[in-house]
Amino acid sequence: MVNIQWYPGHMNKARNQLEDKMNLIDVIVEVLDARIPQSSRNPMIEKLVGSKPHLIILNKADLADPVMTKRWQKKFTTKGKFVMALDSLHNTNMQVLVKMIKKAAAAKIEKLQQKGASSPVIRVAIAGIPNCGKSTIINRLVGRNVTQVGNKPGVTKGQNWLKTADNIQILDTPGILWPKFEDQTVGLKLAALGAIKDTIFSADDVALFLLAKLRKHYLNDLIKFARTSKEEIQNINDTDLLLALTEEYGMRDDYDRFSMYLLQRLRKGKIGRVTLDRI
């Protein structure tokens, strides 16, 4: 595969802006996509966090494989790290998250109380890759739509301080990616789930990658989607399967169009609860 140009220039700016604000922040909330907990982690965030309390949200848990989500949750829960799985689209009550933020900020809250603050306000930064649901979580925390949400990467353009009723100030940030993928499959996973623009990879490359993953880990979901039998799926390679599905779905030989359709079905959870990062 050719060397992919995928790192937008404004991401550097976004990262620097977050770095500049770090001395104001009490808790870092890192939002991951529960379907790719590893590939949606940004190695730069760990550096930014330093010794600050760090809360990791596995968001879009409603779309992820629940068995895998439990395993990732366990893996990320280490000393000083708070982890929770969340479906911020359907869940309007964020009290569990508020509690966890306050638990993570306990030392800071105590310090402020000792200084005489009767209702101490803590400051939280929400960070994560594009399209993982940062702004959705903030709207839920605030209780109304204060920041723009959209089903494509790069919706939030600048930083934004917002206030919740729970004495929490939140900094919404644009999605941040990292300058180099350690391997090409990370890029394919980000593309499959819509964290990077659809123009960066060709849709059929991403679709072929996805079909191989489904075949390996979610064969029953693939059989259902392909409206065929296990035997038939097992006797056909991924490229031929892509062509057969294109026809099956009435798109004749337009496998590009079908590839995009397949990705859209995946992103909406219509193929099944699929986790691409395995543990």
Question: Residues interacting with ligand GTP, by CB under 6 A?
Answer: 59-60, 62-63, 87-89, 128, 130-136, 149-151, 153-156, 174-175
Q: Choose from ligand GTP, Mg ion, none: what does 37 bind? Cβ within 5-8 Å by kind.
A: none
Q: Dihedral (C-alpha) 21, 89, 205, 130: value to the nearest 10 degrees?
A: -10
Pairing of strands 160-163, 168-172: antiparallel
Of 149, 150, 181, 147, residue with least CA distance to 164? 147
3-state helix, strand, coil in the chain (%, to 5): 45, 10, 45
Q: For residues 69 and 173, which CB has a smaller minimum distance to Mg ion in the complex?
A: 173
Q: Choose from Mg ion, ligand GTP, none: what does 53 bind? Cβ within 5-8 Å by kind.
A: none
Q: For residues 193 and 245, which CB has a smaller minimum distance to ligand GTP in the complex?
A: 193
Q: Choose from ligand GTP, Mg ion, none: what does 246 bind? Cβ within 5-8 Å by kind.
A: none
Q: For residues 56 and 137, which CB has a smaller minimum distance to Mg ion in the complex?
A: 137
Min separation Cβ 178 and Mg ion, Å: 18
Q: Choose from Mg ion, ligand GTP, none: what does 63 bind? Cβ within 5-8 Å by kind.
A: ligand GTP
Burial class (CB in 10 A: 0-12, 13-18, 19+), 216: exposed
Q: Which two tokens stand for residue 222?
A: 């693939």
Min separation Cβ 1 and ligand GTP, Å: 25
Binding footprint of Mg ion on the chain (CB under 5 A): 134-135, 155-156
Q: Which two tokens stand for residue 246?
A: 């294109």
Q: For residues 8 and 128, which CB has a smaller minimum distance to ligand GTP in the complex?
A: 128
Min separation Cβ 139 and ligand GTP, Å: 7
Q: For residues 87 and 205, which CB has a smaller minimum distance to ligand GTP in the complex?
A: 87
Residues 44, 46: Cα–Cα separation, whole Å: 5
Main-chain dihedrals φ then ψ at residue 28, nearest 5 degrees: -100, 125
